[in-house]
Amino acid sequence: MNVEERKELLKLTLEILFSPLKEPLILGTAIGILVGGIAMIAGITYFKKWTWLYKNYFTSVDHKKIGIMYIFVALIMLFKGGIEALLMRAQTAVPQNKILDSNHYNEIFTTHGVLMILFVAMPFVIGLMNVAIPLQIGARDVAFPRLNLLSFWLFLVGCALLNISFIIGGSPNAGWTSYFPLAGIEFSPGIQNNYYAWSLQIAGIGTLATGINFVTTIIKMRAPGMTWMKIPMFTWSCLITNVIITFAFPVLTVALVLMTLDRQFGTKFFAMTDGGMDMLWANLFWVWGHPEVYIVILPAFGIFSEVIATFSRKNLFGYGSMVASMVIISLLSFMVWAHHFYTMGHGVLVNGVFSVTTMLIAVPTGVKMFNWLLTMRHGRITFTTPMLYALGFIPIFTIGGVTGVMLAMASADYQYHNTLFLVAHFHYVLIPGTVFGLLAGYHYWWPKMFNFRLNEKIGKVGFWMIVVGFNVTFFPMFILGLNGAARRMYTYSESTGYAPLQMLSFIGALVLVAGFASLVYNIYYSIRYAPRETNGDPWDARSLEWATHSPVPEYNFAIVPQVSQLDEFWYAKKEGRDLHAGKIEDIHMPNNSGAPLWMSVVMGLLTFFFIFNQFMIVIPLAVITLLFMAYRSFEIDEGHHIHAHEVEETERRMRGDR
């Protein structure tokens, strides 16, 4: 295929743009999105909230508000990803089902994987980082506030591109790993996988900026006296996570650039001819992809550490070994990538090396398990909703870990790899290891964000529905996989005998969806009926984020606390010390800015038209993007001061003084 034929193929026409809408299912979804969007816009307009949203959220560089926006988007994407999962379970619930054809099934399991990893887990993690980390280390903000806002909007642009593809042009359909040659132009000639390359690229740039931002923040902006071994465990886990981001995401960036060159400019990096190598993509993808697993799991481990210590009323057992185990995990995470393709032609020696490193990574993870259990030993445990998620994580994640060791054996993996056994394994790792952690943090830090707790009864009912629904959904897949049921298959014959367990899995998925729906209902119920907290420490917690008011004022702390030991806030409470004693002075804070929002809008349009090879539109948009960068480079913005009397007035008001 020559260049002219390629351009003709990818030409922006109404036929290519709106061909997905010929399908009733997609047309109905598009109508639903349109109606929902119009209703939301109408509601915001009716209540006259556009100016308020623009000033207080869209252009705010306050890390707490940016975190809330990340979490809000993550919850919406969790809903969409859950619907996709339910459609896949419905399709395979009975033999020879006709709900989805093969192409739609491929599109849905592709976007489901991408959404859940990159547009649910990642923004949820980064959202909680934004909310908690500066508070935990006693900082007033992150190191680069405006870059933090730009990171969010770039992430949102990538998210929007992936979701637009479902309606305009067609969703990516080569799997969430997008393996070549299937993802190449010869086998996927439409524009679907261009969406994949560009949505991940733009969102990935935002994530890389976040990694650099938080590494700098944690290293340079800790409160006086907070040495390395006095840092809260969640902050430690996020520091290591952001170091991984800084090293791993450039690999994804390079891989996606090469993918774009292959698909849109006719190069042969990942081709099977002309000197190309399709396995190069698999290596580059998993050099990023396996550390990515720990990017979303390590912060959850940090959350479990905070929650278990708080609700056991004890110091975290083995603090030093917990830190060391996370460092070891981060190093090993870059040394196991080839276990994702044992079956693709490596020799015995290579497979053996990666088998050993894969098994080794279970050791520091096991250390953390024992530390959590020993923290709870002789503790005065309070069974709150966050604690239930932490407790539920331990046995379920252990099943995922044990099956991971099974898959680490290369010879056994030849049998397991392309079956539902593998699907069950990684869900038993990622859902308890990431989603349970994020939901624990979501319930735990909710009162810090909004000054009221989510309803505990509804939260506990939701927890049990999620636990039961999860196990009923995915445990049958272990059995199905051992019986030979292949993954990525949209249908099967009745003679296989898979139908009863597939139907059981679908029933479990319905329960799981009901559990996640309870999270949404809990927000509604709690906003209406939950009592507002009278202090900033509703859990009797241990770390510094609970030493300030709820919701947190713009400046975080009227006086930056002095730290002399781990869990400084806990010991200050017990000893009757005031962490905020001292003279209140003027506080310097950064100004809000609309530039990150509008620059991201321009970059979103640029990438959309690039996907369709419309370079006459792309070039001026690229120039505008460069002008935004130049403007920022020469802009003089010295921020603003919150004067001491304003801080004192805010403190009196938030304490309830008259």
Candidates 327, 329, 387, 323; CA nearest to 362 is: 329
Candidates 483, 518, 515; CA nearest to 502 is: 483
> Given this model, what pLDDT does residue 3 score?
60
Tell me the residue type at 166: F
Domain ranges of the chain: 1-47, 48-550+557-655
The fold of the 48-550+557-655 domain, in CATH, is Cytochrome C Oxidase; Chain A (1.20.210)
> Given this model, what pLDDT does residue 435 score?
95
Query: In whole angstroms, what is the distance from residue 225 CA to residue 565 CA?
Result: 8
Q: What are the angstrom distances between the C-alpha of 181 and each of 100, 282, 344, 438?
A: 24, 10, 13, 36
* Tens-place pLDDT, residues 166-199: 888 888 999 899 999 999 998 988 888 999 999 9
> Given this model, what pLDDT does residue 345 score?
78
Element (H, E) at 145: helix 145-164
Q: Which residues in the chain land under pLDDT 50?
A: 12, 658
Transcribe 453-499 into DSSP letters.
Answer: PPPHHHHHHHHHHHHHHHHHHHHHHHHHHHTTPBTT-S---GGGS-H
Element (H, E) at 589: strand 587-589
Query: In whole angstroms, what is the distance from residue 650 CA to residue 552 CA?
Result: 11
> Given this model, what pLDDT does residue 8 score?
59
> Given this model, what pLDDT does residue 580 score?
82
Query: In whole angstroms, what is the distance from residue 295 CA to residue 211 CA?
Result: 10
Cβ–Cβ under 8 Å, residues 270 and 306:
no
* Tens-place pLDDT, residues 616-638: 999 999 999 999 999 988 988 88
Query: In whole angstroms, what is the distance from residue 17 CA to residue 612 CA?
Result: 10
Residues 6+ positions from 334 with CB-CB distance below 8 Å: 247, 248, 287, 290, 291
Candidates 479, 336, 482, 475; CA nearest to 415 is: 482
* DSSP3 helix / strand / coil % (the chain, rounded to 5): 70, 0, 30
> Given this model, what pLDDT does residue 546 score?
95
Provide the H-helix boundaries in 63-121.
63-91, 102-114
> Given this model, what pLDDT does residue 24 score?
72
pTM for the model: 0.95
Provide the H-helix boundaries in 266-382.
278-312, 319-332, 348-360, 362-376
Element (H, E) at 124: helix 122-136
